[in-house]
Structure 1
Amino acid sequence: MNLFRNAHHYHRLLLVPALALTVSLTACQSPDKLGESKPQQNESIVIDSPQKSYDEKNGATAPPATHHPDREASTETSSLNKTGPGNSGKPDEWSLDEPRLKGVAIGDSNEVIHRYFGQAEDSYHLEEEAESIRVLEYDGFSIGLDQSGFVHFVEVFGADTLAGLSGLRIGDDPDKALKELGKPDSRSDYLFIYDAAGATLKLDVNPDRDEIVAMKLIAQG
């Protein structure tokens, strides 16, 4: 009996230190580790990128929303800028009622010319019988302004310059002018003349090379 009591007592002595050790280990666990199993709601929603981190570090703001351009408007603007101011209809088509060359009409203002073509490469004055004309020289074409600052003439002479004249270009065969513009009001081996509303279109022709060498739209009168 004494042997049994002694064994039971010895077992209790071993159990007490074991329980104390378990409690001690539980108490020493880090609160951070205990909380690792809990999801952080804010961090799970926001996904940072390297670009965003770089922008925030350098004080940059978020990029603007993507802009989707109007394809129809972009196409129209592109077409007008090929030759110049143009008109709201067909800027590249010759019209006797609304004559234009390089998209420019007689009477267009200096402001319109500057807005579409920018600063001229050169300029000079051409003295005519009635008045002095200020000539603006661009790459492949020139524009003459009267003393009030309105277009008096437009001339195209560059082979690579879009004239906005029903597809007609410098270097084309004169027969193409007949096909695209029709029969001229006056014609010689060196010159085709088309009379239009408030303006005259003149095509200079080199008969030796059988090609158009210059186009000029000039105010009548």
Structure 2
Amino acid sequence: MKYAWKRSILAMTLTVTLAGCSVTSSHTEDEQVVGNDPVAAGQINTNNSGPNQAVNNNADWNGTSDSGTLEATGAVKPKPKQQEPKWDKAKPTLAGIALSLQKADVKKKLGTPTDNYSQDSESGPIDILEYKGLTIGFGSGDQGVLFIEAYAKDVVTGLNGLKVGDSEEAAVKALGKPDSQSSYLLTYKTANSLLKLDLDPDSHEILSIKLFIET
């Protein structure tokens, strides 16, 4: 009886020990690693947000941006700057039109006028051609152009870059010292013509520019 009780105790102890060993041995090595690491073993190296992937993404982005920049650059090309004609007292012109030029030549150069009418003067009738910001008067017969007047800011005058709306100071800088000057007028003489710049006496801005034959 005494020995039977001891064998029973030994058997129970062995059963508990074996059961503990079975529980411990039922976990694989990978599962034990997973238990100690918050990242599961099956997820290792499956995330594409590593350094190499970040570089590739950046390269793709740069490529797209560069392509867009090139397209934008190629789409808009700067227009060549038109050279402004210079004032020549020996061959005076205004807006590219010379005095004594015939009407047919003016129309060939400037196209169809916006208006055409006649005006009486002491020396006879004057035919007027109107263009945008520009008025041109013609004498009778073969006299050709008697005067040219520019009165709009967008007219290219051919006076060293000077235009309507510029200041009196700009006029003197572009054309030099005038032959006569007042608060409302600057006058430049050539061999057979006059160039007159009408000024606003208050703002000293150019209101109009006129070139005409001096008789």
CA distance in 1, matches of 2:201, 2:165: 12
| 128, 135, 139: which one aligns with 2:128 | 135
Contact 1:98/1:197 (CA < 8 Å) preserved in 2?
no
Q: What does 1:1-221 correspond to in 2, within 5 Å?
A: 92-149=85-142, 150-221=144-215
- Cα distance between partner residues in 2 of 1:128 and 1:188: 26
- Separation in structure 1 between the aligned mates of residue 122 and residue 147 of structure 2, nearest angstrom: 15
Percentage of identical aligned residues: 36
Runs of at least 5 residues in structure 2 that lack an aligned partner in the other structure: 1-79
| Counterparts of 1:177 and 1:134, CA distance in 2 | 30
Distance 1:155 1:119 in 2: 17
Q: Normalising to structure 1: TM-score of the pair? A: 0.58
List alignment gaps of at least 5 residues for structure 1: 1-74, 83-90
CA contact (8 A) 1:140 1:156 kept: yes
Tell me which stretches of 4 or more aligned residues in structure 1 moved more than 2 Å.
none
Q: Is the 8 A contact 1:152 1:219 kept in 2?
A: yes
User: Normalising by structure 2, what TM-score?
Assistant: 0.60
User: Aligned-pair distance for 1:197?
Assistant: 2.2
User: Given that residues 99 and 197 in structure 1 are in contact (C-alpha distance below 8 angstroms), is that contact kept between their aligned partners in structure 2?
Assistant: no
Q: Which amino acid aligns with 1:211?
A: E
- The CA deviation string for residues 136-185 of structure 1, in whole angstroms up to 9 with x for no partner, is 01001111011125100000001111111110011000111111101111
Report the RMSD for the aligned CA atoms in angstroms.
Answer: 1.8
Instruction: Figure out how many residues of one structure are paired with residues of the other and give that number.
Output: 135
The residue that corresponds to 1:3 in the other structure is none
Determine the C-alpha separation between the residues in 2 that align with 1:125 and 1:141.
16
SS at 2:104 equivalent: helix
Contact 2:183 2:204 in 1 (8 A): no
CA separation in 1, counterparts of 2:104 and 2:131?
A: 16
Computing the radius of gyration over CA atoms, which structure comes out larger, 1 or 2?
A: 2
1:11 equivalent in structure 2: none
Residues in 1 aligned to 2:102 and 2:191: alpha-carbon distance in whole angstroms: 18
Structure-2 separation of matches of 1:214 and 1:159: 9
The CA distance in 2 between the partners of 1:161 and 1:100, in whole Å, is 13
